[in-house]
Structure 1
């Protein structure tokens, strides 16, 4: 399966999905949204155990495709046409990332703006190059955040800092983003992909069934009360305890050797 706007590379049990519209700074067109969803579904179907998401060229993603937005508005006689079906497609992509029980690493290079920021934040772990910059740019053109920005950002950095970034549309460096807890860490641009791949391999070699359940619990943790979260933890722990990976982990512990997990 090939994609029009996305490159998909499988290396063992790690898939690297690269947004590939460098001339448009990887703006999120409707086609790209569809391609990203199809690539993620392909990864899941192939039994991939970790995904790295990045962008070709000098941007991770500049956000929604404003040119396409304008063209759709002119064709349909209403500017909000782009904010109908295409936005639903992008929101479906965000949900797919959160609901797919494998770890996603965003390897953020260069420009990361608007919906591109929120696409990165939808991933489980965000690693950025030292020349990357983040901008929740919606307000700068009179729009409001989408693609989960008002969900992910305050949970990462708190309400007050989120309000400042969302209401001003100011750009912050990757270093500052790491300092406030928006992303996990910053690495030199030259080593962004190697460091992201290294982490992806580490996760892929882990008990990915357990990792998927951790992801499910984290997703629920902000809406559950303590009792509901404890119930969910017990349910997930029982499933983990019934797994082959737990048996292997226990055997490896007593044998004093590294475990060999299969994700089952």
Structure 2
């Protein structure tokens, strides 16, 4: 896949690389959203994909919105309804697509994840940071609000109080503070970032893919639904899982004390 997003597959793992390093991998003013939608549709329709790694080329993960592109808004070239439609048909399609992808996604944060770039990491399931990474919910510094779902995503990752602190101040935090605040689960040396992400992706991909996908769906639904509703969904998903060949293989392998072979 050419363009903003590079698509590479090795075994059951797809690596998506944002590839506008000279502009610090912005998510607006280019084809980023369309490329993400195309990649996500490709992954959803490919049963061989069991895990995804998302990273950025160059020194930045993603600088978020293209500030130069915002000049049109500041200059009054568009009215309010036109700007609203730009958001609805543009950047807001990204969280709906990526957050709801059933295949687990690991954000390998190689550098700055700023504004929508930070929110992009929160659309993923797991975040691993290089020691060079830094994070900011910086919309307030430009006199705007998170227009990409960050006000919903960030509090669910790090809690309301810390999300409020980042959102209201626009402060930049480094990788170690991100680790302390549970924004990321690991901090590694730059040269170890992609190997660490790949090792984790392969560990995920080694499990029965239906179980991983359904578990992710339950976790996503659990973020905004009632316990009794989630229990009903869990019972239905469990009934499906018990009838799969991979479940039978897992039980047989456990009893036979041998490694299982999952076919998906």
Moved more, 117-126 or 86-95: 86-95
**C-alpha deviation, 1:82, in angstroms:** 5.2
Residue 16 of structure 1: aligned partner: 15
Matched, 1:124 2:138: no
Structure 1 segments unaligned to the other structure (5+ residues): none
- Aligned-CA RMSD value: 1.9
Shift of the 180–17 alpha-carbon distance from structure 1 to 2, 3 Å rule, reads same
Task: Please name the residue that 2:240 is paired with.
Answer: 239
Does 1:204 pair with 2:181?
A: no
1:151, distance to aligned residue in structure 2 (A): 1.5
- Aligned residue for 2:90, secondary structure, equals helix
Cα displacement (A) at 1:98: 2.0
Contact 1:69 1:81 in 2 (8 A): no
The gaps in structure 2 that reach 5 residues or longer are none
Evaluate the alpha carbon distance shift between residue 56 and residue 243 of structure 1 in structure 2; reply closer, same or farther with a 3 A threshold: same
User: What is the deviation of 1:25?
Assistant: 0.4
Most deviating of 80-89 and 232-241? 80-89
Structure 2 vs 1, CA of residues 258 and 240 (structure 1 numbering), >3 Å: closer, same or farther? same
Contact 1:73 1:81 in 2 (8 A): no
Counterparts in 2 of 1:5 and 1:222: CA distance versus 1, 3 Å: closer
How far off its partner does 1:77 sit? 3.9
**1:206 alignment partner, SS class:** coil
Match in the other structure for 1:256: 257
Aligned to 1:151: 152
Preserved contact between residue 72 and residue 78 of structure 2 (Cα < 8 Å): no
Q: Tell whether the 8 Å contact from 1:55 to 1:109 is kept in structure 2 after alignment.
A: yes
1:96 alignment partner, SS class: helix
C-alpha distance in 2, partners of 1:24/1:75?
24
Residues 223, 261 of structure 1: alpha-carbon distance in 2 compared, 3 angstrom cutoff = same
Say whether 1:60 aligns with 2:61. yes
Task: Provide TM-score, normalisation by structure 1.
Answer: 0.93
Give the superposition deviation at 1:87: 4.9
- Deviation string, structure 1 residues 57-101 (Cα, Å, up to 9, x no partner): 000000011222324776944488555325533222211122221
SS in structure 1 opposite 2:91? Answer: helix
CA contact (8 A) 1:115 1:147 kept: yes
CA distance in 2, matches of 1:74, 1:235: 53
Secondary structure (helix, strand or coil) at the match of 1:53 reads strand
Offset at residue 235 of structure 1 (A): 1.2
Q: 1:35 to 1:191 in 2, by over 3 A?
A: same
Three-state SS of the structure 2 residue aligned to 1:84 is helix
- Mapped to 2, the partners of 1:135 and 1:129 lie a distance apart of 15
Q: 2:168 is matched with which residue?
A: 167
Partner in structure 2 of residue 43 of structure 1: 43
* Alpha-carbon contact 1:59-1:111 (below 8 Å) kept: yes
Structure 2 CA distance for aligned equivalents of residues 133 and 79 of structure 1: 32
1:223 deviation in Å? 2.1
